[in-house]
């Protein structure tokens, strides 16, 4: 079993709901990791904005993020461009995911590739 956790929630929208979604995404990653299951976390869409938020030690889920940070596969390049998160991603050192070469973008992660590699994709 392998899990790919896709963070789509927008930290700029619906503060409690967005925080709840990223909290549950990271908690799920932690659960899989602690139980010895291969797990990766990807930030996509407006979820790319979480990169700057989660780097802040004042963020309520900062500690949880630190526990699963090594499981972050990367951030959607095209989405980071569209949603204004590219500078924060570059500063973070996380990889850009570009396996899905959508015309007019620098690429997005390929969910097809993940599924074909045996990952179950969970979205938050």
Rounded CA gap, 25 and 41, in Å? 8
User: Does 13 or 79 have the greater pLDDT score?
Assistant: 79
Query: CA 24, 113, 95 angle in degrees (round to 5)?
Result: 65
User: Domain residues of the chain, as ranges?
Assistant: 2-123
Q: 2-123 falls under which CATH superfamily?
A: DsrEFH-like (3.40.1260.10)
pLDDT for 13: 81
Q: What is the 3-state secondary structure (H, E, C) of 29-71?
A: HHHHHHCCCEEEEEECHHHHHHHHHHCCCCCCCHHHHHHHHHH
What pLDDT does residue 121 have?
98
Mean pLDDT in residue range 57-71: 97
How far is it, in rounded angstroms, from Cα 39 to Cα 14? Answer: 27
pLDDT tens digits for 3-58?
A: 999 999 999 987 899 999 999 999 999 999 999 999 999 999 999 999 999 999 99
């Amino acid at each position: 079993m392998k899990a790919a956790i896709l963070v789509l929630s927008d930290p700029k929208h619906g503060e409690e709901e967005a925080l709840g979604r990223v909290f549950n995404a990271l908690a799920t990653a932690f659960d899989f990791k602690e139980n010895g299951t291969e797990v990766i976390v990807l930030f996509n869409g407006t979820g790319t904005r979480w990169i700057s938020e989660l780097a802040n030690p004042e963020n309520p889920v900062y500690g949880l993020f630190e526990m699963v940070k090594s499981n972050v596969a990367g951030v959607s390049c095209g989405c980071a461009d569209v949603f204004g998160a590219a500078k924060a991603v570059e500063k973070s050192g996380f990889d850009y995911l570009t396996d899905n070469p959508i015309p007019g973008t620098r690429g997005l992660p390929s969910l097809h590739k993940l599924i074909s590699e045996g990952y179950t994709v969970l979205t938050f």
